[in-house]
Amino acid sequence: MALKYYNATQATRITNPTKAYYDDFVAISNQTFDNAPNVKYNEIQYEVHYGQRDFKPIPMVRVEPVVNYNTGIQVGDDYQVFIFTPDFPEPYYGMKFKWGRNYYLVINVDKGSGLSTSAEVRRCNNTLRFFDENGNKIYEPCILDQVLRFTNNNDTMTIVTGKAEQYVWCQRNSRTVKIKPNDRFLFGVPEQRIGFRLYAGGLGNSLNTITGDDHSPTLTQFYIEEYEINYQEDDIENGFASAERYEYSIDISENNTYFDIGATATLNAVIYRGKEVVNKNVIWTSSDEDIISVNDKTLTAISAGEVTLYAAMEDNKNIYGSINITVLDSETEEDIYNILINPDINYVLEGETISITANLYKNGIKQDDMLTIVDVSENVPRQNYRMTVKDNTFTIENKQKYLKNKVKVQCSYNNELFEVFEFTLRGLY
């Protein structure tokens, strides 16, 4: 039978016959989607910009199971093939999808004829939980799996055994590139956490999907081994390893909490990561600008009242400290006395000694009066710490950690004003 000649250019009145064939293919493809029983309408979302978590629904996606080519058996629900309409953006390795409460990563791409594409995806069955350099918590969907490696077969009677290795797949993005060899992770339910450590040489993120582009979208794969859990350092409840190493705190060194109307002062705060001072910017704010206004680091008392000042880390607003300030109307208010300590901390690390000065303040002004300082601790073993007092300064030496009860120090003035400060004998990081 002779083939019938078809003049696409004349039939469509265009100068490019390829477009006619393309339009016909799109129409046929859309028809197959309309008639297919495995089409999902607006159920599956895709990440519009790589690594940005800005998901957008896909109007139509065909979902088919993955079949093992060797056995012909369906692999399982964790593996799926997404078939896209021709107008869908070209999928790539590491592309992320969201379907219901689950995330999926592209592990293989089939561009087909160039007019339609499909992608083999795998469900993220776990979550990497870790911190960035500013103490922000990062939750990254990942695939946790294991591979069985065998020793070389020898022609002997020795039994050949295999070794199971755990490995993780995740999207290589601006968050996961911060993962380093020997980093630890926690998986499992809070009651049965399992600790893992990344092999020193087990990080595989050197493969690019675009030649010469080290930042091209792709997957990171790294091998992990079971590792001990540090119950003192890890956050078992929330699943973060080495949580105490990234425990940021802000110490506000402003001890003056009372000001007269019109007074000004310079605010100071120190940011700690653990016990180490770090150089990070602090943003100051006032809960009521009509009572105290804050301009950069300078406060100005405007009117009588109480206000809270906040010092937050610029790179992580969840890390902040606060101080309550009272502005006095000097003509009507009575004198206010209080006792404050500097530095204002509440723990001592094992093996360290801290020196703390207590002072009496009158209407927010430091006085030179002597205080009575006494150790009033209860049920804390004396062999675990040593305390000494000289003038208005006392020192606490943490010989051995003790977390059950706290060391208590009472500071008093003329047997009328009493303040008790508590300190935890913490362990080392």
Give residue limits of the domains in the chain: 8-123, 130-153+162-245, 247-333, 336-429
What confidence score (pLDDT) does residue 264 get?
87
Of residues 65 and 186, the one with the higher pLDDT is 186
What confidence score (pLDDT) does residue 150 get?
53
Between CA 409 and CA 364 the distance in angstroms is 22
Q: What are phi and psi of 230, to 5 degrees?
A: -95, 100
Q: pLDDT digits over 343-359, tens only?
A: 888 889 889 999 999 99
Closest CA to 22 of 8, 4, 7: 8
Between CA 74 and CA 336 the distance in angstroms is 78
Output the average pLDDT for the chain.
85
> Span 364-392, mean pLDDT?
91
What confidence score (pLDDT) does residue 296 get?
86
Written as six digits, the tokens of 266 are 């310079």
Under 8 Å between Cβ of 380 and 406: yes
Does the pTM of the predicted model rise above 0.75? no
Under 8 Å between Cβ of 341 and 421: yes
What is the CA 173 to chain-centroid distance, rounded? 14
Highest averaged pLDDT of the listed ranges 61-70, 106-115, 168-177, 342-351: 168-177
Q: pLDDT digits over 147-171, tens only?
A: 665 555 555 555 544 456 789 999 9
Closest CA to 236 of 274, 305, 185: 185
Between CA 62 and CA 35 the distance in angstroms is 11
Confidence of residue 2 (pLDDT cuts 50, 70, 90): very low
What is the three-class DSSP state of 120? strand
Q: Is the pLDDT of residue 5 over 50?
A: no
Between CA 46 and CA 42 the distance in angstroms is 10
Provide CB contacts within 8 A for 186, sequence distance 6+: 129, 193, 194, 195, 196, 229, 234, 236, 239, 240, 241
> Span 325-336, mean pLDDT?
75
Highest averaged pLDDT of the listed ranges 2-16, 36-50, 59-73: 36-50
CATH class, range 336-429? mainly beta
Apex 20 CA angle, 16 and 25, nearest 5: 140
Confidence of residue 405 (pLDDT cuts 50, 70, 90): very high
What confidence score (pLDDT) does residue 262 get?
86
Q: Which of 62-76, 282-296, 314-328, 381-395 has the lowest mean pLDDT?
A: 62-76
Whether 247-333 and 336-429 share one fold: the answer is: yes
Q: In the chain, what percentage of residues exceed pLDDT 90? A: 46
What confidence score (pLDDT) does residue 244 get?
83
Under 8 Å between Cβ of 329 and 290: no
Q: Is the pLDDT of residue 116 over 70?
A: no
CATH number for 247-333 (one of 2.60.40.1080, 3.30.750.24, 2.60.40.1120, 3.30.300.180): it is 2.60.40.1080
Q: pLDDT digits over 233-243, tens only?
A: 899 999 999 98
Between CA 389 and CA 412 the distance in angstroms is 14
In the chain, what is the straight-line distance between the N-terminal and C-terminal CA atoms, in Å?
A: 84
